[in-house]
Structure 1
Amino acid sequence: MPVESGIAEAASVLRAGGLVAFPTETVYGLGANALDARAAARIFEAKQRPSFDPLITHLADAADLAGLVGPVPEAVAALAERFWPGPLTLIVDRPAAIPPIVTSGLETMAVRVPDEASARALIAAAGVPVAAPSANRFGQLSPTRAEHVVAGLGGAVDVVLDGGPTRCGIESTIVDARGGRPVVLRLGALPVETLVEAVGPVTVRPGSSGQPVAPGTLAAHYAPRTPLRVAGGAEPAAGDGTRRGFLAFRERPAGGDWAAVEVLSPGGDLTVAAARLFDALHRLDAAGVTEIVAERVPDVGVGRAVNDRLGRAAATWRSDA
């Protein structure tokens, strides 16, 4: 349903323990009442998400953080003041009000305030914090349009709010700033360079071994159903009748026999490339190709997050992953 007219109904569904898919500035989230363990369990069931992968809790306003978790570490508060609302998720200690299922048993919690007015309005109308990972089957492409949600989750969602394409197109950056130098646990829509300008040096550690300490940090993730690999240079023609798709950064490849091509940003704008990444991969995934070959983008700014997503998607299909 249209997001403008559906917020009141969707808020009622959240309060009753239901699932609501809604747009944020990053990707569409699959929301449930973060204070309700049974509602949170429905997220894991709908996504077929393993219980060891924690969720992000969303708030309507930065001022709500202290009311939920109590005293907020100074560095965390400073980042929240600077970047919320926005595509930054912060790690805090899990409060007693948040059931352990939301954090996959961790004593820490990932939390953010989305920079999408309708998302904040929904959370405020529901009157509860909202746990919301991306609204897709676990490990698959994140949804940046309502139709992606419907195609991926179908009847597992009680309400889908349609707010059109999301603005950023990739997930939030996750930072743990509870002690010492801030640690970037997941690259995302807020560039590392922007963080450094605001707070000084940071450590980048976007990966997990064993149980993830933050959402979206598994080595294999964000993958289309079609096998994907990252281009290693000039791509020769397939020569065997294989229908291949190509994901390009700025321009169509000069050679090769491509059944489908998606160009992320003819103007070379990394922000545009990030916003179009998952949407383009959804189209290639639906094009009937047998393989997707993806070109890396410049590894600066939000391009680092784009390359991170491509690498994790490719790892899903590598035999050594």
Structure 2
Amino acid sequence: MNERHLYPNPVSVNEAVEHLHNGDVVGMPTETVYGLAGLASNDDAVLKIFQTKGRPRFNPLIVHCADMTMAREIAEFDPLALKVANAFWPGPLTLVLPKKANARISDLVTAGLDTVAIRLPKHPMARRLLSTLGQPVAAPSANPSGKLSPTKAQHVIDAFGGAVPVLDGGACEAGVESTILAIENNRIILLRPGNVTAEMVESEIGIKVNLPDSGKIVAPGMLKSHYAPNAKVRLNAISPNSGEAFLGFGSAAFDGPNCRNLSPKADLAEAAKNLFQYLRELDAMGVASIAVAPIPIEGIGIAINDRLARAAADRTT
């Protein structure tokens, strides 16, 4: 039986680069959530991402790049895509674009699609890692597939029992995964809401943001059941039932050890940052169900509601 190496403590950037060059996976911080990174060009490394997460192979991965030069070696940028990228990169935005025919990335990354999901993270440690590495990584969230996304290094260490080396970049600033936009035929299509809102894009770019025409899986984070704690999740709750934990927002709050408030001042950005951490804390209490207060469906609240709806979805199908 092969000895399993354990990494109970965070590693340095140089150590992470060495692991990646060796075809291993590494937990890396971004401004959104921690990612499980592997060389995007290495079939074995990408396969290890899927195997480590238990992720379905039909679910594509996001490619993280250090700069636009690296990104343009992978994807085709038309004028609209360039305008969006220049406005929001580096940052919590992923663009789904046509993959270049000679792109040096594994076919496993794109799940056989002719498009690629790509972004430039702004987290300083992620940027340092990618610049030192000198090539892009594929990196979905660093958690077992379908479970709560990690917003701290310790979440990643705990999730995989220390089997994955992790860079500690502190608590994630945004707290929910990146917005995903597809750019095609001079249209912008919102595939997954996030901190870069449709209103922000429309204001900056001057073009309406559309919803997708079908339910096909064309980008990460589109599975119906996703981002889920072990406990069931009950949405738009006014108060907890007997034995339930309660996740409040603003004035919709309760006191007690099984209660958390995403933002006492009803700040949606604060709520997004706290979402996965507080769900994780309540889930650790061993409750069967977590009741969640209503969250306004506006701005970043759209992304929060999206994650909560997927956490509450039926997990039997």
Q: Same fold (TM over 0.5)?
A: yes
Q: Does 1:104 align with 2:104?
A: no
Q: Does 1:161 align with 2:167?
A: yes
In structure 1, the partner of 2:158 is: 151
Q: In structure 1, which of residues 264, 267, 278 is the aligned counterpart of residue 265 of structure 2?
A: 267
Residue identity matched to 2:37: G
Q: Does 1:59 align with 2:65?
A: yes
In structure 1, the partner of 2:280 is: 282
Mapped contact 1:186–1:206 kept (Cα < 8 A) = no
Residues 208, 12 of structure 1: CA spacing in aligned structure 2 closer, same or farther, 3 A cutoff?
farther
In structure 1, the partner of 2:3 is: none
Residue identity matched to 1:79: V
In structure 2, the partner of 1:128 is: 135
3-state SS of paired residue (1:177): strand
Residue identity matched to 1:215: P
In structure 2, the partner of 1:296 is: 294
Q: Does 1:253 align with 2:257?
A: no
CA displacement at 1:295 relative to structure 2: 1.5
Where in structure 2 are the equivalents of 1:165-204 lying within 5 Å?
A: 165-204=171-210
Measured in 1, the distance between the counterparts of 2:86 and 2:206 equals 16
Measured in 1, the distance between the counterparts of 2:253 and 2:220 equals 34
Measured in 1, the distance between the counterparts of 2:193 and 2:127 equals 23
Mapped contact 1:252–1:261 kept (Cα < 8 A) = no
For structure 1, the residue ranges without an aligned partner over 5 or more in a row are: none
Measured in 2, the distance between the counterparts of 1:252 and 1:313 equals 20
For structure 2, the residue ranges without an aligned partner over 5 or more in a row are: 1-7
Residue identity matched to 2:272: A
CA displacement at 1:148 relative to structure 2: 1.0
Measured in 1, the distance between the counterparts of 2:208 and 2:27 equals 33
In structure 2, the partner of 1:218 is: 223
Measured in 2, the distance between the counterparts of 1:14 and 1:311 equals 34
CA displacement at 1:94 relative to structure 2: 2.0
TM-score of the aligned structures, taking structure 1 as reference length: 0.90
In structure 1, the partner of 2:4 is: none
Deviations 1:104-133 (A, max 9, x none): 111110000001011011011111101000
Residues 207, 154 of structure 1: CA spacing in aligned structure 2 closer, same or farther, 3 A cutoff?
farther
Report % sequence identity.
42
In structure 2, the partner of 1:118 is: 125
Q: Does 1:229 align with 2:234?
A: yes
Deviations 1:122-177 (A, max 9, x none): 011111101000000001100001111112122442x1111111000000000011
In structure 1, the partner of 2:32 is: 26
Matched residues, number: 308
Residue identity matched to 1:222: Y
Runs of 4+ in 1 over 2 A off after TM superposition: 200-210, 234-238, 251-255
CA displacement at 1:206 relative to structure 2: 6.4
CA displacement at 1:267 relative to structure 2: 1.2
Measured in 1, the distance between the counterparts of 2:19 and 2:253 equals 47
Q: Does 1:13 align with 2:11?
A: no
Mapped contact 1:15–1:128 kept (Cα < 8 A) = no
